[in-house]
């Protein structure tokens, strides 16, 4: 699914970018990591949601690894 129409970035690309760079905390930083920048800004809430989702997934993985 396309998340950022202006930069033709789909949710898989955004997720892969976020997974590979856990320090990314803002939609603008996510755009920079993908080699582009926000234009219209309509995707910013969706990218913020993806940042939160990936952060939560990483926390679960870390907690499971620590439990082993
Ligand atoms: S949809 Fe992402 S900047 Fe316009």
- Residue 1 has a CB neighbour count (10 Å cut-off) of 6
Going by the DSSP 8-state scheme, the letter that residue 6 receives in this structure is T
Quote the ligand 1 centre to 24 CA distance (angstroms): 18
CATH number of domain containing 54: 1.10.10.1100
Nearest CA to ligand 1 atom 2: 4
pLDDT at 68: 81
Domain that residue 33 falls in: 2-67
pLDDT at 62: 86
Structural domain total, the chain: 1
pLDDT at 61: 87
What residues in the chain have per-residue pLDDT under 50? none
Going by the DSSP 8-state scheme, the letter that residue 40 receives in this structure is S
User: 44, exposed or middle or buried, with CB in 10 Å at 0-12, 13-18, 19+?
Assistant: middle
Distances (CA, A) of 18 to 24, 27, 49, 65, 67: 7, 10, 11, 20, 24
pLDDT at 13: 97
Global pTM? 0.90
Quote the ligand 1 centre to 42 CA distance (angstroms): 5
């Amino acid at each position: 699914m396309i998340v950022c129409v202006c930069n033709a970035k789909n949710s898989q690309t955004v997720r892969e970018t976020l997974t590979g760079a856990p320090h990314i905390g803002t939609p603008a930083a996510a755009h920079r990591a993908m080699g582009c920048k926000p234009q219209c800004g309509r995707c910013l809430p969706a990218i913020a949601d993806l940042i939160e989702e990936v952060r939560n997934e990483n926390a679960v993985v870390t907690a499971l690894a620590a439990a082993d």
